[in-house]
Every structure is written in structure tokens, then in C-alpha cells.
Structure 1
Amino acid sequence: MKRDDAKKLSDEALEELAAQLAAGKSEELTKFLKTMSRFHNYSFGNCMLIARQMPTATRVAGFRAWQKLNRQVRKGEKGICILAPLVGKKKAEDGSSESEVFGFRAVHVFDVSQTDGKELPDIHKIEGDPGEKLSRLHTTAIGLGITLSYEEDLGGADGISQGGSIVLLSGLTAAAEFNTLAHELAHELLHRGEDRKTLSKTVKELEAESVAYVVSTAAGLTGALEQSADYIHCHAGDSEQLARSLQRIQKTASLLLEQLEAVPLEPLSEVA
């Protein structure tokens, strides 16, 4: 597959996703968000390409990269086409040079299911328990300058975002608290500027629920999007608004997932 073909495939996937939402169907969005949760380091466009070509993919790498992991791509397997940046050096006026992306090329990767060889460690599965990632998410919130507190009654809500502070319902399970905190952090990161006024409540909830789903799924939790069906139909076929939201979701989820791996582990009692 050539670069232009890959770009066309990505655009077609976005249009189909918008049409599915306009028809009141959320399966395609859920499929895409699952892909995003597995490949949060990939760009929005490449997530689209992977979801379009192999929605069941869980871990992808190039032919030689798999060999370095003591696995071999099976003969006859068809690669998944993604776009890789072409990076070069550009000289600045002061004589220094800096890296710059000047184009993209089509490359092919393969899912682990297309390979044979040495077993790989499962880096995400936590059997419905976020484990130490809950503490790390607390630390991430505090590192972003957001205060956390707990209340016995939030009027039916599990969490509330108040612009610089998040209140969580006391007594939630670890999985529910993790997912709720990810949702409220998404509001803090996405909806405290001008977007607070310009985006509808439904769009904001879709974005927050989707970020929480991606982060929670990557942390090994299940069922994070089951209660979100009412928000998923919000774009009514508007592919441009949908693309903007998906890019924002991908960027925010990636930020939180990167922080989960980067922040030091603190005891929950100290963080709280």
C-alpha cells in the first residue's frame, strides 16, 4: 500500500465512523477507542489505519523488530500499513540544526497474532484492578496542580470536576475510582478554557468518557464504556467535529498514560 492509499483509507474510516454515529450506532467508535487504548503512542491517523485494517490488533511492530523480540512473522501474513514520518535536519539562522518532519512514507507492521516465537509479557492486563496505577493517577493529578478530595454524597455522581479541583465519591472500588478520576482529569485538561463555552455538554462528556475508556482499558480494566452509550451519538455525522474530538481524545489519553509510567509511585494515603 502506498502513502496516498493509506491516507485515503484513513479518511474513509473517519467518514464511515461519522456515518455510523449519525445512524445511532456506536460500534465503530468503540472499536476505534479500543485500538487507541492499545496504541496510545501512535498518531490519530495511524490508530485509524490500524483499526480499519485489523481492529483486533493488540501489539504491532515491524518485521525486523519482531525478530529482535525472538518472534518471526509467519510466511504469507499481510502487513498493516501505517505512515511513518520522514525526518531531516533544518539549519537555523544561527547555524544550528534541528529536526523537522518533511513528509511521510508508508511502512508495514504486523500484529503479534501474525507471529510465532517466544512469549511476550502482558504489560497491561491487571484483571480489573488498576493496582499501583491508581496511586500513579492520583500523583499525576496533583502534579498537574489539581487538588483531590472525597465526599460521602455527590448527588448521584461518582466525581465532579470544579476547575483546579476534583471531588470523588467516597467508597468507590479501585476500578471505579480510577475510571472516574481519568474522566474528571479529562474535563480538567480539555474543558477549562474557551472550549468550556463553545462545546456542548454532550460533546464534552463524550470526550471525557472516551479518554477515561482509553486510559482504563490500557490499565487492564473492562466495561469502562458500557454506561456511555448516550454520549456516543453526539456528533450527528459531523466528521470535522468528530475528527477534532478524536484528536483531542488521543492527545489527552496519551498524556495521562505517559504520566502513569513516568510519575514516581507514592503510597495512596500520602497522595490522598
Structure 2
Amino acid sequence: MTTNVDIRGNRHRPAGSTRGGQFSEKTNSAPADQLSDPAPSTPLLPLAQRFGSVEEKLKVMQSELERSVEALGDDDQWLAYLKMMGRFHRYSFNNQLLIGVQRPDATRVAGFNTWKSLGRSVRKGERGIAILAPKVVNAKDENGAPELDANGKPVRRVVGFTATTVFDVSQTDGEELPTAHEALTEEPPAGYIDDLTAAITSHGYSVTYEPISGGAHAYTATDGSHRVVVDESLGEGDRATALAHELGHIVCGHTDQMDEYHTGHGGHRGRMEVEAESFAFVLSRANGMQTHLRGASEYVAGWQSKEPGALREVGETIAKATKSVLTGTQWRNAGEFL
């Protein structure tokens, strides 16, 4: 007899429950999205003003990144990072952290020339935000000749990184920009559920609404049927957050890793649930909807002690998945971001 294994959405389950293949929760006394943003630590930055050479800047940036990654083990810091990711989903995990540690109140950032092209100018005397930029060169073959792709164009390769500078919109003057969401709603904006459904189906999954027993709000079947099943009794708010959570499982690659979806030796169920929940939190906020994020510190603390580098891997997974979905799919409610 074949057993179907499901990744079930983690939605409003009482603390300590593990039913339906979900990890046990330990919640904070208040919803995590109401936790106060942490006061920034005394930064080693801004680098652009304190260090002369690119090598010195890169060395200090790496040190700051290591410290920032370690700090993500705290619930408040994780929440602050996810809010930063929502504003800067086009940037890499490293650059999101660097922007946050130098200017935690930043809302939109761009380079000097980009601001100029948008009709805005950086005010004289403003200090920039140092981020990493890839060094890209034309690739050459073993004979030193330029490598060309199938279309006859030069192949470009990243050979390292250098430091560059961006500025927040608050450091500029000029033409008005389209505004992002001024307030988040508890209910999904018009069209958000349809957009979530379209994003899921674009990955080869169908969405159906059926009765679900056991308290789970949704699950992604991994029996080969490629179905996302949502409890038909859910209201629109829970329906949207359940769909966003299951989309997170899909785009983070969890449906291809079901042999690791457990809490025993070698299992990564906690990591997968935190990634899916964090993805849903960022995606929904980008579309103007407030969701409640459960505490993640119990799990990330374990990763720090048992899996060196796991925090960075989790952050990079969420950052890549969020960027891919927000830039590769049409979202009628997504705020305007640079």
C-alpha cells in the first residue's frame, strides 16, 4: 500500500502540537509581528567613510556579516530581517543584512545614478550605505580566446566582489515616487488569493478546496499528484496565508526533499517550516497583508549549535525564493520597490 506524505501548513495550531506533520510551536506572549524592532547594535559601518581601500572595506563587511548572521538567532532580529527583506527583495541576503545594520530605517535604496535617472538627487554630504557588488568579466577558454554562448554573445563570469555605495530615498530630493503600502490589512487585498493561486499553478501544482481533518489548514501532497489542498471552511484571511505558506514549501524546494521532512536524525522539518512561514510573512507584507509570524528562535538556536552555517543557508534560501517569486510573477498588490 502506498502512503501519501503531506507537508501541512502551520496555521494557528495550539502551542506544542505536532499533529499533521508540523513542528511543535512555542509562541511568544504577543503575536511576533507585534514584537518591537530591536535597537541596532553599534555598527562597524559606514564603511565608505571609515576605510580607504576596497580590501579594508571588504574585510570589515565580512566581519559585520558574520555578526549579523549570528544575531538572527533572536526572534526580534529575525523579524526585523524579514521586514528588511520585504523592502529589499531584489538584493542578496548579504546586502539585505548590510543595509539593515547601517541604516535600519531604510525604505528604498539605489545608487547615485539610478536616483538621478528617477528624477531625484542625493543631497550633498549624505553618507552612503556600503554593499557588495559582483566583479564580472568576460570568460576566456584555455587558449585565452573569449567564450561565447549559443547566441554568439560573450559569456560573463563573477570572479569576486567589491564594495559599492547606495543611498536611501530619505537622503534624496526630487520627484515623487509611487508609494508602497502605507498600512497593512488583516484581510487579503482584492486579487491576492487569485495571484497566489496563479503562482502555485505556474509551478505545476493544482489548488483544490476540500474538508481537512486534524486541524491543518492546508497541505501540499507529495504523492505525485502535485496538489495543494486547502480546507474549504477557511475564511479569506486564513486561506491567503495558507496558500502563501504552501507556495513557500514549493519554491524553497521542500517538496523535493521529503525524505528529510522529519525531526529525527538528519531531519529538517523545523527548518522547512520556518522557511515556508518566513517566506509567507514576507510575500504577504509585500502585497499589503499583515500575517502573524510564529517564533523561530527555538529552531535557529539549535541550528547555530548543531549545524554551522545553517542560519546563513536558511536566510539565503528565503531571500532567493522571495526574489524569484516577487520579480518573476505578476502581483497586482505588490508595492513599488527599487
Shift of 1:181: 0.9
Is the partner of 2:255 in helix, strand or coil?
coil
Residues 45-124 of structure 1 aligned to structure 2 (within 5 Å): 45-92=94-141, 95-96=147-148, 97-123=154-180
Shift of 1:202: 2.0
Alpha-carbon distance in 2 for matches of 1:210, 1:244: 14
Residues 148-227 of structure 1 aligned to structure 2 (within 5 Å): 148-163=207-222, 164-189=226-251, 190-194=253-257, 196-197=259-260, 198-225=266-293
Q: How many residues align?
A: 254
Q: 1:78 to 1:248 in 2, by over 3 A?
A: same
Decide whether the 8 Å contact of 1:133 with 1:260 is kept in 2.
Answer: no
Taking only the aligned residue pairs, the percentage that are identical comes to 36
Alpha-carbon distance in 1 for matches of 2:87, 2:280: 13
Amino acid at match of 2:286: A
Deviations 1:175-232 (A, max 9, x none): 433322121122233222336414432222111101111111111212342xx12x34
Amino acid at match of 2:257: E
- Whose helix proportion is higher, 1 or 2? 1
Deviations 1:208-265 (A, max 9, x none): 101111111111212342xx12x343021345111111111112222221233289xx
Alpha-carbon distance in 1 for matches of 2:246, 2:288: 19
Residues 29-44 of structure 1 aligned to structure 2 (within 5 Å): 29-44=78-93
2:323 equivalent in structure 1: 254
Normalising by structure 1, we get a TM-score of 0.84
**Of 235, 238, 242, the match for 2:311:** 242
Deviates more, 1:57-66 or 1:232-241: 232-241
Q: 1:160 to 1:78 in 2, by over 3 A?
A: same
1:15 equivalent in alignment to 2:70: yes
Decide whether the 8 Å contact of 1:134 with 1:178 is kept in 2.
Answer: yes
Normalising by structure 2, we get a TM-score of 0.68
Alpha-carbon distance in 2 for matches of 1:64, 1:259: 25
Deviations 1:21-40 (A, max 9, x none): 2xxx3000011111111111
Q: 1:130 to 1:262 in 2, by over 3 A?
A: closer
Amino acid at match of 2:247: L
Structure 2 spans left out of the alignment, 5+ residues: 1-46, 48-56, 149-153, 261-265, 333-338
**CA-based RMSD:** 2.4
Decide whether the 8 Å contact of 2:184 with 2:285 is kept in 1.
Answer: no
Deviates more, 1:127-136 or 1:8-17: 127-136
Alpha-carbon distance in 2 for matches of 1:159, 1:234: 22
Is the partner of 1:188 in helix, strand or coil?
helix
